[in-house]
A = this chain, B = another copy of it.
Amino acid sequence: MKVSQQEIVAAARELFRNQGYAGASMQDLADRVGLKKASLYSRFPDKEALVGEVLQLTLDEIFATVDDAGGWRAAYEAILRSISGSLVERGRCVAFHLAYGASADAPRAMEAVRGFFTACRRRLAETLSTAVEPGEADRIAVDALSRIEGATLWLAIDGDGTAMQRTLDRLLAEADGLQGRRRVRAKPGNPGKTAGQPRRKHSRAAALPGRP
């Protein structure tokens, strides 16, 4: 194999992210990975099947660094930072672009997108359910995801990541306010970010990875 499966999927992801489902072409993908188009079709049945692979890879990458050993708050922060960090790095969200673009004509792609966001939502809600009741946990998870995704608007338009940074700060600050206003912190020894009066005047929190 001249090129590994993962390299192809990663290249496909970049295409889907920047061009959308309809705008990404198999020829373009073949050129990028240094193969011919026919060779791609001996690895993947069709274009639509690439969507599932792309989203599975992305899901794996997001949760690779997350473990629940440090408690719900640390896990929650790790997940949100992992997601928003990669979004700032790449400028757009593949899954969101596919959610918008893979319409009725690509039902398997749409199903993969649903699966991706459902997995993120479930994992977040599960993490939060240590601190709040399940219904509220799911609501917080849904809102957190949509707020992070929404912040990619300004990333896509003018590359501005400050809205994302602000969103992340607020989500974490709001998380500190959960569980009956108890004092919680992500890492012992981490300066600032107290939760005494957690809902106002949050201090400029730690920067996103790769964003000074």
Contacts and interface: CB of A to CB of B under 8 A. Distances in A.
Given A23-B23, A96-B153, A143-B163, 6 more contacts: A22-B23, A99-B153, A143-B167, A145-B150, A146-B151, A149-B150
Contacts of A103: 18-19, 23
8 contacts: A19-B22, A20-B100, A21-B23, A23-B103, A97-B101, A117-B157, A142-B154, A142-B163
A19 B135 CA distance: 34
A205 B5 CA distance: 50
Contacts of A20: 20-23, 100-101
B147 A100 contact: no
Contacts of A114: 157-158
A99 to B, nearest CB: 5
Dominant secondary structure at the A interface:
helix
Contact of A100 (B96, B113, B166): B96
Interface string A107-137: 0000001100100000000000000000000
Interface of A: 18-23, 92, 96-97, 99-101, 103, 113-114, 117, 139, 142-143, 145-151, 153-154, 156-158, 163, 166-167, 199
Contact of A146 (B22, B100, B113, B163): B163
Nearest to A100: B97
Nearest to A95: B153
B157 A143 contact: no
Contact of A101 (B23, B143, B149): B23
A143 B162 CA distance: 10
A166 B139 CA distance: 9
Contacts of A113: 157
A201 B144 CA distance: 18
B23 A157 contact: no
Tell which of A22, A100, A158 has the most Cβ of chain B within 10 Å. Answer: A100
Nearest to A158: B114
Contacts of A157: 99, 113-114, 117
A142 B103 CA distance: 28
